Amino acid sequence: MTLETPVVPATVATEPVAEEGEPPGPHRRRRRRLVLAVGAIAIVLVVLAVWRGRAKSPPPRDRAARVVSVVTVPARNGDMPVYLDGLGTVTAINTVTVRSRVDGQLVAVNYREGQLVRQGDLLAQIDPRPFQVALQQQEGQYAKDAAALENARLDLKRYQNLIEQDAIPRQQLDTQAATVHQLEATLKTDAAQVANARLNLTYSRITSPITGRVGLRLVDTGNMIHASDPTGLVVITQLQPIAVTFTLPADQLQPVMAGMARGDKLRVEAWDRDRKKMLDVGTLEAVDNQVDDTTGTVRLKGVFSNEGYGLFSNQFVNARLLVDTLHGSVIVPTAALQRSPQGTYVWAVKPDSTADMRTVDVAHTEGEDTALRTGVSAGEPIVTDGVDNLQPGAKVTTGPPAGASPGRGAGGGGTGGGRPGGGRRPPS
């Protein structure tokens, strides 16, 4: 009996046969995964680059259709003042150091420190008793010499009668006449001594020589004061009127001298240190007769009424001298001015709500306003805010800028946040 061996089916290999020179199966799978990962990263980077390029550079069709929000102010016709600015110092027209003219003890002070006093007001009192005694002595001497003179005149009259009768010698009459003249001179001297004593008594009352403000007290009651004291009793400064001395460059002097030659009273304004508050208004009084060769400036003097006492002696101020007025000028906000290598320009809004770049000729700039010679007509809307995104022909809307407070109108006269020269360059 013959036994047959069972046939076992062979296992089919699931892995492909490796080519000659290739690594085994696990290494090949790792390489494929690496290639796929690198390819995916490259695809992501390409997609991001394309997306960013589209975000930065919108299609021309979208750019042309975009509307820019701006703030506009209409140009206006008006008068533009022309000022010359200089640094000045307030100077009192009269400053007096009050001193005693006699020696004595100070018994009373009749003013408060910083008080406004009038001319003739009593400031201080020196003990008057020594001067009263001296006056009485001089008056007594005057009376004595006056009586002697009266007696000498009576004797002279008797001698004149006797000389007619030839009862006395002529020499006696002449001597008596000389005695009368001598006593008359003595009486004049006595009268002067009386006046001097009375004047010293008057000097014991120290009065204000001018109207002004007194400073801090320099001598207290009870001290002995002398006419030779260097410090004095108090300093009085005149405040009304008061002067401001300021300087201007020498090359700006011509319009000033022309105005003074016409007899004009040029207006001078005094402003505080920060140029935020006008302290007073006055007129130009004088111009110095020479130029300071070290600074190239000329000193000028203005006089102010100072009714509100806003000016004090030695105070620093900014002086503004009005030398001319540009009448009928086209005035726009200074914030609307933009500058480029090609010149100064502004953005105007045409009736079809499109932006138009205008080259302008600036006549004068004064603070927030600028007068133009050419380029803009009165009434045209001028862009003051939102110029960064403007192109010629771009559509604009006059709504308020982003972040504006409620209630600010579309063309609400605001000067915007731009400053002259702060905008973008004009398109080429």
**Segment 265-294 mean pLDDT:** 92
Q: Residue for token digits 């982003």?
A: 402
Read off the pLDDT of residues 146-190 as tens digits, 9 standing for 90 and up: 999 999 999 999 988 888 888 888 898 899 999 999 999 999 999
416: which 2 tokens? 């915007």
pLDDT of residue 12 exceeding 70, the answer is no
Category of 114 on φ-ψ map: left (φ > 0), alpha (ψ -120 to 50) or beta: left
Per-residue pLDDT band for 399 (boundaries 50, 70, 90) equals low
Closest residue by Cα to residue 202 from 254, 138, 128: 128
**Segment 336-364 mean pLDDT:** 90
pLDDT at 268: 95
Class of domain 84-93+240-325: mainly beta
**Segment 106-134 mean pLDDT:** 95
**Segment 218-223 mean pLDDT:** 93
pLDDT of residue 68 exceeding 50, the answer is yes
Per-residue pLDDT band for 40 (boundaries 50, 70, 90) equals confident
Hey, which residues does 244 pair with through a beta bridge? 90, 302
pLDDT of residue 10 exceeding 70, the answer is no
The pTM is what?
Answer: 0.62
pLDDT at 402: 44
Closest residue by Cα to residue 390 from 417, 353, 342: 353
Residues 300, 246: contact at Cβ < 8 Å? yes
Residue 87 to residues 154, 226, 329, 400: CA-CA distances in angstroms?
77, 41, 28, 39
Residues 390, 347: contact at Cβ < 8 Å? yes
395-397 and 67-69 strand pairing: parallel
Residues of the chain above pLDDT 90, percent: 52
pLDDT of residue 425 exceeding 60, the answer is no
Q: What is the CATH number of domain 95-236?
A: 2.40.50.100
* Cα distance between residue 168 and residue 155, in whole Å: 13
Residues 270, 244: contact at Cβ < 8 Å? yes
Domain with CATH 2.40.30.170 in the chain: 84-93+240-325
pLDDT of residue 427 exceeding 80, the answer is no
Closest residue by Cα to residue 399 from 389, 387, 386: 386
Q: In this structure, what DSSP letter does residue 292 have? A: B
Chain-wide mean pLDDT for the chain? Answer: 84
**Segment 340-346 mean pLDDT:** 88
Number of other residues whose CB lies within 10 A of the CB of residue 252: 15
pLDDT at 279: 94
**Segment 368-386 mean pLDDT:** 90
CA 207, 211, 213, 215 dihedral sign is negative
pLDDT of residue 142 exceeding 80, the answer is yes
pLDDT of residue 117 exceeding 90, the answer is yes
Domain with CATH 2.40.50.100 in the chain: 95-236
pLDDT of residue 8 exceeding 50, the answer is no
* Cα distance between residue 36 and residue 275, in whole Å: 72
pLDDT of residue 25 exceeding 70, the answer is no
* Cα distance between residue 377 and residue 386, in whole Å: 21
pLDDT of residue 16 exceeding 70, the answer is no
Q: From the centroid of its chain, how far is CA 143?
A: 66
pLDDT at 1: 40
* Cα distance between residue 123 and residue 117, in whole Å: 9
**Segment 126-152 mean pLDDT:** 95
Q: Of 170-174, 195-199, 344-348, where does the model show the most confidence?
A: 195-199
